[in-house]
Structure 1
Amino acid sequence: MAKYFADVSSFQRDDLGFFQELVNAGVASVLIKTTQGSPDGDNYINPKSTNQARNALAAGMNVGFYHYFLATSVTDAINEAKFFEQSVINLGFGKDTPLCVDVEDPSLNTSAIASYVDTFINYLETQGYTNVFQYSMESWFNQGILNANKHPTWVASYGSSDCGARGNIVAWQYTSNWGGSSQDMSYDWGIFDKQPAKTEAATQPTVEPEKPKVENVIKLTEQTHPVDRLGIERPETYEVGSTWKSSDIVMINNEPHYQIATDIFVPISKTTFKDFIIVKYTDDSPAPVFDSKGKRVQNASVSTGKSFKTAGFKVINGIPMAKIATDQFIPFEYTSGSRFE
């Protein structure tokens, strides 16, 4: 089952009922805007952030925070990071809380902003925060304004079949009109796997961070006739947008297929994983990466939950693998939808 989180600011409500409605709709987590700019700049603190955090926790949600970035220099970036950090401290949250820098304002200097974002994130990490990431629209990553590989990345892309950017993608904001209202909603691909520390008001025991989980759920991007193991088309038709749980990935008619029932398969090319994979390996060690000759690539490995844009596939030594970089491949066995455990 897909995981979701909402992001809220002073434009949203702060009462318990609002957050309970989100929970009832299957939304387990929330990111709350706390600050914007710096004390000598906008000096903005969301006046609803305290109630929003308290009531989100009371509704049983996971809670993180974000800062709206306006820095114009390295010094300014540090000041904004300190301003944001203090807001998190004042709310009573710990070092493992998800923290995001929201980088999208049109006034930002796009030729220099990446270094300012680096400074902001590096400051928080040196203070001991362990779950810090960046946010922007997919065009800023694709144009090279920001680097989606350098930091964990939450990307905004609406009306598309996937997130539109490639790199260390941990979340995808796929709509700004969830539920028919002006509510942003995102897929969570790892942000809230670590449970944030609770405030005293929550009166809940501290829990150990959860290990990354990868759901074997695939979604069809076009109307599809499944096939059996021999590649013979079955009479039933599955609709666009329907979701299925896959138990394996096998080669049929020279193409990887997801197994969604005992002898029912759908091709990867007709799913949201057409050119995109999520790594599924053991919790305690990273997945190996191979070259086109089937040799292990030294110093190249990826952990469970990481996602990659793929450039097709290749069967190497009899094993179908997804191409993730120049002469670098990951076996489909180590991706979401396989039976590997």
Structure 2
Amino acid sequence: MADLSSHNPDSLSFFRQLSDVGVKAVIIKLTEGSNPGTAYANPKAAKQIKNAKSVGMKVHAYHFARFRNNADAVLEADWFLKNVKKQGLRDNSAMVVDVESKEIPNDATVPVNAFLKQVQKHGYPNVDVYSSASWYWERRLDQYQLIPNNFWIANYGVSKPGVNNTGTWQFTNNYMGMKVDMSYDFFNFYTGECRKKPSSAQYHIVLPGESWWGIAHKYGLNMNHLAELNGATIKAVIHPGDRLRIR
């Protein structure tokens, strides 16, 4: 899956080139900020959407967030929704909030959820969050509390996303020298039907000083079984902030 903005071309030949190298879906930047406020809208969006669809790609949309609180988040969601509807995108497209601006508060989980709830309230159930792995490492975003369960993570120059339960991994910003951001979509959230069912699994966030034995004892589990649930053995090192499945 490629994600595009006004920095990328909007020509049909460009989208054919993407299709030829195996791209199945695109997510296009529609907006940034809010109205009133910055109120930016991508001038290439309509043509990018049209040409992506013409080569058979699934099309999704994202908003670059600058909100500082819940009220800002709702205003930005409204500006995004206005443009989503203007572009004719339907409820089978994913709607994503891009969380990377320095303006966003350190504890970003609550305003991010406020944005996504507003989007869902207006008829777009398939939502996701894009951010770098460091936002999760630094606990600025809390996977356990966020509404989506896909999690689109950016982490370049490494062999894996670096965040547990990543659904989609943006691994480069220059795919095949094309100056295009590219992602692996592990569970087909963007490249498939865009309807990943909510998980019934339960998780524990590792705290400083905790061990496999201590966490297993807390939930009445065998520690070897706990490790197996997480694709590991008890010899694996766990770190504060890791998200372990317990059910």
Q: Report the TM-score when normalising by structure 1.
A: 0.58
Instruction: Please give the per-residue CA displacement for 1:255-300, whole angstroms capped at 9, x wherever unaligned.
Output: xxxxxxxxxxxxxxxxxxxxxxxxxxxxxxxxxxx942899x9xxx
In structure 2, distance between residues paired with 1:15 and 1:176: 20
Instruction: Please give the per-residue CA displacement for 1:196-240, whole angstroms capped at 9, x wherever unaligned.
Output: 7xxxxxxxxxxxx799xxxxxxxxxxxxxxxxxxxxxxxxxxxxx
Instruction: Please give the per-residue CA displacement for 1:95-143, whole angstroms capped at 9, x wherever unaligned.
Output: 12111100001222213x2211010011112223121000110000111
1:184 aligns with 2:181: yes
1:53 aligns with 2:49: yes
User: What aligned pairs does 1:190-339 form with structure 2 within 5 A after superposition?
Assistant: 190-192=188-190, 194-195=192-193, 291-292=221-222, 310=230, 312-313=232-233, 325=244, 328=246
Whether the aligned pair in 2 keeps the contact of 1:194 and 1:210 (CA below 8 Å) is no
The residue number in structure 1 matching 2:113 is: 118
1:144 aligns with 2:139: yes
Name the SS for the 1:95 alignment partner. coil
The residue number in structure 2 matching 1:69 is: 65
105, 120, 124: which is aligned to 2:101? Answer: 105
Amino acid paired to 1:312: A
Distance 1:166 1:78, change over 3 A: same
Return the offset for 1:147.
1.6
In structure 2, distance between residues paired with 1:312 and 1:293: 11
Instruction: Please give the per-residue CA displacement for 1:243-265, whole angstroms capped at 9, x wherever unaligned.
Output: xxxxxxxxxxxxxxxxxxxxxxx
Whether the aligned pair in 1 keeps the contact of 2:189 and 2:196 (CA below 8 Å) is no
The residue number in structure 1 matching 2:37 is: 41
Return the offset for 1:194.
4.6
In structure 1, distance between residues paired with 2:61 and 2:75: 17
Return the offset for 1:181.
3.3
Structure 1: 5+ residue runs without aligned partners? 197-208, 212-289, 298-307, 315-323, 330-341
In structure 2, distance between residues paired with 1:178 and 1:309: 34
The residue number in structure 2 matching 1:129 is: 124
The residue number in structure 1 matching 2:18 is: 22
Amino acid paired to 1:72: R
Structure having greater relative contact order (Cα 8 Å, sep ≥ 6): 2
RMSD: 3.0
In structure 1, distance between residues paired with 2:223 and 2:60: 44
User: What aligned pairs does 1:73-88 form with structure 2 within 5 A after superposition?
Assistant: 73-88=69-84
Structure 2: 5+ residue runs without aligned partners? 198-219, 235-242
In structure 2, distance between residues paired with 1:42 and 1:27: 32
Q: Which of the pair is proportionally richer in helix?
A: 2
Whether the aligned pair in 2 keeps the contact of 1:156 and 1:163 (CA below 8 Å) is yes
In structure 2, distance between residues paired with 1:70 and 1:121: 14
Whether the aligned pair in 2 keeps the contact of 1:193 and 1:210 (CA below 8 Å) is no
Instruction: Please give the per-residue CA displacement for 1:297-316, whole angstroms capped at 9, x wherever unaligned.
Output: 9xxxxxxxxxx9947237xx
The residue number in structure 1 matching 2:214 is: none
Return the offset for 1:193.
5.0
Return the offset for 1:67.
0.2
The number of equivalent residue pairs is 215
Could you say which structure has the larger radius of gyration?
1
